[in-house]
Amino acid sequence: MSTIEQFDNAVMHTYGRLPIVLETGADRITTDENGDSFLDFGSGIGTNSLGYCNEAWADAVCEQVRKLQHTSNYFYTKVQSDFANRLCQITGYKRVFFGNSGAEANECAIKLARKYSFDKYGKGRHTIITLKNSFHGRTLCTLSATGQDSFHDFFFPFVEGFTYAEANNIDDLKAKLDDTVCAVMIEYVQGEGGVNPLESAYVDELYKLCGEKDVLVIADEVQTGVGRTGTFLAGEQYAKRADITTLAKGIAGGLPMGVCLANEKCMDVLGKGTHGSTFGGNPVACAGAMVVLDTVGQPDFLASVLAKGAHIRAALQQCEEVAEITGLGMMLGIRLKTKSAPDVLNEALRQGLLVLTAKEKIRLLPPLNITEAELDAGLSILKKCLTA
C-alpha cells in the first residue's frame, strides 16, 4: 500500500489534500518521498515564517526539548515569561494568554470580551459583531463567529450571540451596534475570505463608534500578525491597536501556539480559574517563538517584508492574466482573468512551486525570510503558469 492509501485508511478525510507526501524541508524548499523538491510560497499556510527547519530556530527548539519539554500551568517557566514579556514589549499590549491555535486564541478573546462586559454592565450585553466573509476558526464558537453561511451547517445548535456586518459598510455596522453588543471582531485583511483588506476610513469609523459605546475591538491577526503584512501587527498600518488581538499561525515558526493579547482595559478580566489550556505556553513552542520574535521583530526585517511584497506585486502586475492583486506585505491575493485558481495551483505544483488559494484567488504567503533569488525563481514559475 502507498503512503497515501495507508494515510487515508487511518486519518479522517476532512481535507482536500494534494497527492504529495512531504518528507523533509530546508529553508524555503520541501522535498517529497520521491525526492521531488518544491519551492514554498505558502509556508504551511503562513506558519513556517522562517521557512523549513531554520537553523537558529531548530537549535533553540532542540535545546529546550532536551531541557524541559512541558510543565503544567501550575508552575512558572522562564522561557514562557521571557517570550511573553518580549511580545508585550514589541506589541505594546499588557498581558498574554497562551493557547495552541488560532481558534483557541479567538475563543479566549470572545470569553474575555463577554466577561469584560458582564463585570461592568451585567447580563444581556454579550453580542459580538463579526464581519461577513470572515474566518475565525473551526471550534463551535469560532465557527459561529465566522461570517460565512457555508460554515453554519450540520453542527447545530451553534453558539448564540453573533451577528454579521458587511465589511467596509459603516451604516450596516451602525445598524447592528445595539445595546446588546460587547465587541466587534475584525480581520484587517480577510485571509481565508479572499485576501481582502479593510478600508482605512472604515476602520477609523469602526474604532470611533466602538470607543463611544465602550464596545471592545478584537483584531483577529492570526494570519496577518507577526510580520506577515510588513509591520509586526497589521493594525499598525491602520494606526490602530485593538483592545484585544489574537495571533497564531506564524508566531512559533511552525509549532502550535495561539496567543490572546489584552490592553490595559482588558488585562485583568480573566482571573484565576476563568480560562486555561493544558498545553498553552508550552516551553518548546515558546523557545521556537522567541527566535521568531527576535528575527521578525527587527525593523530592518519588517522593512524587507514590505520590499519583497512590493517586488512580488510589481512582477505579477505585468502578467496579462492578472486582474487584480490584493493584500498587504507578503500576504497577497491574485485575482485571475480567465484561469481558475486550482488549475494554476496544480500547474505550479507540477513545476515545483507551492502556492495557496483563497476563494477564487491565488494566495501567496511566502516564508518571511525568503531571499530575492528564491522569490524571483518562484515568480518566474508562477508567471509561466499564468501565461501557459
Ligand X SMILES: *Cc1c(COP(=O)(O)O)cnc(C)c1O
In the complex, which residues of this chain contact ligand X (CB under 6 A)? 101-103, 106, 135-137, 187, 191-192, 220, 222-223, 248-249
DSSP 71: -
How far lies 97's CA from each of 50, 102, 142, 144, 275, in Å? 23, 12, 17, 22, 9
Shorter beta-carbon distance to ligand X: residue 25 or 99: 99
* Measured distance CA(23)–CA(18) in Å, rounded: 14
Rounded alpha-carbon distances, angstroms, from residue 163 to 121, 147, 195, 256: 20, 8, 22, 29
CA angle 182, 137, 256 (to 5 degrees): 115
Nearer to ligand X, 49 or 101 (CB): 101
Question: Cα–Cα–Cα angle for 145, 361, 28, nearest 5°?
Answer: 95
Residue nearest ligand X, Cβ-based: 102
Backbone angles phi, psi at 128, to 5 degrees: -115, 125
Q: How far is the CB of 134 from ligand X (least distance, A)?
A: 7
For the stretch 222-259, what's the b/e string if a residue is b when 16 or more beta carbons lie within 10 angstroms of its beta carbon? bbbbbbbbbbbbbbbbbebbbbbbbbbbbbbbbbbbbb
Taking the complex as a whole, the smallest distance from the CB of residue 133 to ligand X amounts, in Å, to 11
Classify residue 282 by its DSSP letter. -
**Least distance between ligand X and beta carbon 267 (Å):** 22
Compute the least distance from the CB of residue 130 to ligand X, in Å.
11
Minimum CB distance to ligand X smaller for 17 or for 384? 17
Nearest approach, Cβ of 105 to ligand X (angstroms)?
A: 8
Q: Which is nearer to ligand X, 108 or 385 (CB)?
A: 108
Nearer to ligand X, 77 or 246 (CB): 246
Smallest separation, CB 244 to ligand X (Å): 13
Identity of the residue, 16 or 271, whose beta carbon is nearer to ligand X in the bound complex = 16
Q: What is the largest CA-CA distance in the chain?
A: 63
- Give the position of cell 518528507: 23
